[in-house]
Structure formats: C-alpha cells, structure tokens
Amino acid sequence: MADIRINQIRKSFGLAVALESIDLHVADGEFLALLGPSGCGKTTLLRIIAGLETQTSGAVFIGGQDVSALPPRKRGLAMVFQNYAVFPHMKVRDNVAFGLTMAGADRARIQSQVERTAALLHIEPYLDRYPAQLSGGQRQRVAVARALAVEPTVLLMDEPLSNLDALLRLEMRAELKSVLQSAGTTTVYVTHDQTEAMGLADRIAVLHAGRISQIGLPDTIYRHPATKFVGGFVGSPPMNFLTLPCHGGEVRLGNLSLRAPCSAPTVVLGVRAEDIDFADPGVIFTVRVAEPLGVHTLLTGTVDGQLVRVTAAPDARPAAGETLMIRPRQDRITWLAADTGHALEPQ
Ligand SMILES: Nc1ncnc2c1ncn2[C@@H]1O[C@H](COP(=O)(O)OP(=O)(O)OP(=O)(O)O)[C@@H](O)[C@H]1O
Ligand SMILES: [Mg+2]
C-alpha cells in the first residue's frame, strides 16, 4: 500500500510564496496529473514529495508513514526530473540499471529489467552509448527507463515527455499509461499540457499560483470547471466566457432567454466551442477567422464585442464579417460569478 497524502503544505522562497495550503490524496495505484501553467508550483510540490525540497510547513505521508523528515532515498520512490538528469559518465545501459545495481539486484534480474524497459522506451539501439551521444528526446527516454526499471511503488514524473516530438509523445503516453496501470504504480505526473493530463490521468489536480483550483476526474474538470481559470486553462480551445447582465435569475442573450443561478447584476456564461449550435433563437455571432482543422472548422468571432470560438462542420468556410445565429446548449452551460470567477451551483 503506497498512497500519498499531502497535508497543508506551504512553501515560501524568502518572501515569495510558491505553494499555499496544499491538501492532496493520491490513492494506492492511482495516476494523478498535476496540471498548471509555468511557475504555478508543480515542480516544487513534486520535489517536496520526493524530499529534495523542504516544505515551510505541512507534512507528507507515503503509505501512511510520515516521511517529512526522511531523506529522498528513504522515501521508497523513483523520480524523473524535468531536465531529464542522467549520469553523463555512464553508458545508457548503466544508467537504466543504476537503481537496481544500487539495490544489490542480481545480474540476471538487472539484465532482464534493462532489456524490458529499454524495449518499452525504444532505446535498445543506444544502450552502449553515453548520454552526450543522444538527442534530448532520447536522453529523456533514458531517464524514464531508469525510473521504471526499479519497478517503484511510487513514481514522480516531471514533464517526462516534453522533449519528444508529437508522434513519439503520443506513443509513449499510451505505453506509459498501460505499463503503470498494470504495475499498479502510484504516480504523480507533472505537466502543463492539458491533453496529456486528460489522456493519462485517473484524476487531475489543477494548480494555479501555488493553490489547487480543482481536483477531479478529467471529464469533470473539462465539463464542470470550478473556476474561470480552470475552464480557460483546460481544453483547446479554452472555454468561452460571456459576461452578461442578469435580472431576476434571467439572462437575455440575443433573442434567447436563459435561466441563470445569479444573485448579482452580472454573471458569466461559460460554454465550450463544441457545445454551441447554429440555431435561432440565438445570438448574432460575427465571424473573424475560420480555421479548417480537419476534424472540424474552428470559427473565431465575436458576440456583442466579446470573443467567442465555435466549432463548425469540417467543410464550413464562412467569410470574415459574415454573421451567424448561435445558441449555447443549455445543459452544457457553466455559470460563474462575475466577481470571483467561481462556478455557481445551478438553482
Ligand atoms: N529555489 C528557488 N528559489 C526561489 N524561487 C523559486 C525556487 N524554485 C522555484 N521558485 C519559484 O517558485 C515558483 C514555482 O516554481 P516551480 O518550479 O515549482 O514551477 P512549475 O510549476 O514547475 O513551472 P514550470 O512549468 O515552468 O516548470 C516560481 O515562481 C519559481 O520562480
Ligand atoms: Mg517545473
């Protein structure tokens, strides 16, 4: 049993607060993605779990044990760093074998594990090279192989696929997921790539400016963002937001009247590009740009001067300046408070 529990972690660097009141539980065998923009504190949190950074206050438990005062090597976990640190003086083979060698594993086991993980990460041709003779993406795969070779019960990964090209990343993503799932490894995976987080994770924790904005299933995060930040950060394109006047729980949008759970005079309507129909009654959308993306055409335009993106049929090619009637699907709307940006419960 190796769950991870993070209790009220706070970290400041001098006067700057990097993490504030972080509470998090990663269940045994769970894959949790830590998702957030650059500088939000992802690496700092991962390093605190690993014991490479000391928290200002709070505690970390692994498998029920308080490890806050333990050095990294006593925490029973493996880590892949953001800058894919591999030992430059060791051949790839010895890099991958490192953890097992240190643990005193026998030769046969070391050899079979090196072969297995090298195959998994497609680095067999490079086993007898030094890291300096590899590309960034190859080096990164060596770092992942080194962490997997020890079959850790807890694995911490910091943007492990960031240096791979798009196709290889897609392939590695699927392989990582299947390997970690079948091994039952408890994984915390840091990324700023929301597609990667959505595709890989059992649950996602969205980190924003040192705080957790939302933790939940990928679908929940995507469909029901808890804040404007989450809706805008997760999903491509980001969720659309329209700030609208609200009177007596009713919002007028063009010739459409919508019920809204608002108590303030203005409210924010959040809706995803694919959850908008071309329909009347609705509101006038003025096209600015049409981008044919193969699977659909993405239209960028305005509604009452506010930016809106809508997906249209793959062959749709409206001209700039053209107007269309659009209507958000009512069951797909997220209502948010205009002042705080927090989602409002439907009433
Ligand atoms: N050793 C340090 N000294 C001072 N400030 C630091 C230190 N390490 C990190 N920070 C600051 O803490 C904040 C969080 O940094 P962190 O590296 O955790 O971000 P991140 O989410 O991993 O970003 P990225 O996606 O760019 O890797 C940043 O504002 C950063 O400048
Ligand atoms: Mg980082």
Topology given in CATH for the domain delimited by 237-337: OB fold (Dihydrolipoamide Acetyltransferase, E2P) (2.40.50)
Nearest ligand 1 atom, CA 11: 12
Q: In the structure, which protein residues have their CB atom closer than 6 angstroms to any atom of ligand 1?
A: 13, 16, 18, 36, 38-44, 82, 192
Q: From CA 334, how far away is CA 272, in angstroms rounded? A: 9
pTM of the model: 0.91
Pocket test of ligand 1: the residue of 20, 34, 42 to mutate, having most ligand atoms within 8 Å of its CB, is 42
- Per domain, the residue ranges of the chain are 4-229, 237-337
Per the CATH hierarchy, to which homologous superfamily does domain 4-229 belong?
P-loop containing nucleotide triphosphate hydrolases (3.40.50.300)
195 CA to centre of ligand 2 in angstroms: 17
Pocket test of ligand 1: the residue of 12, 15, 17, 43 to mutate, having most ligand atoms within 8 Å of its CB, is 43
The residue whose CA has the least distance to atom 1 of ligand 1 is 13
Q: Please compute, for residue 126, the number of CA atoms within 13 A of its CA located in the half-sphere on the CB side.
A: 25
Dihedrals φ, ψ of 75, to 5°? -90, -5
Contact, 232 vs 241, CB < 8 A? yes
The residue whose CA has the least distance to atom 4 of ligand 1 is 13
Contact, 243 vs 268, CB < 8 A? yes
| Nearest ligand (C-alpha, residue 208) | 1
3-state SS class at 158: strand
Q: What is the pLDDT along the chain (347 residues), one digit of tens a residue?
A: 699 999 999 999 999 999 999 999 999 999 999 999 999 999 999 999 999 999 999 999 999 999 999 999 899 899 998 777 889 999 999 999 999 999 899 999 999 999 999 998 899 999 999 999 999 889 989 999 999 999 999 999 999 988 888 888 888 888 888 888 888 999 999 998 888 999 999 999 999 999 999 999 999 999 999 999 999 999 999 999 999 999 999 999 999 999 999 889 999 999 999 999 999 999 999 999 999 999 999 999 999 999 999 999 999 999 999 999 999 999 999 999 999 999 997 64
Burial 59-77 (b: 16+ CB within 10 A, else e): ebebbeeebbeeeeeebeb
Contact, 188 vs 34, CB < 8 A? yes
Nearest ligand 1 atom, CA 192: 25
162 CA to centre of ligand 1 in angstroms: 17
Which pLDDT score is estimated for 217? 97
| Nearest ligand (C-alpha, residue 81) | 2
Q: From CA 150, how far away is CA 110, in angstroms rounded? A: 9
**237: preceding bond cis by omega (within 30 degrees):** yes
Give which of 37, 45, 44 is closest to 232, Cα–Cα.
37
Nearest ligand 1 atom, CA 190: 22
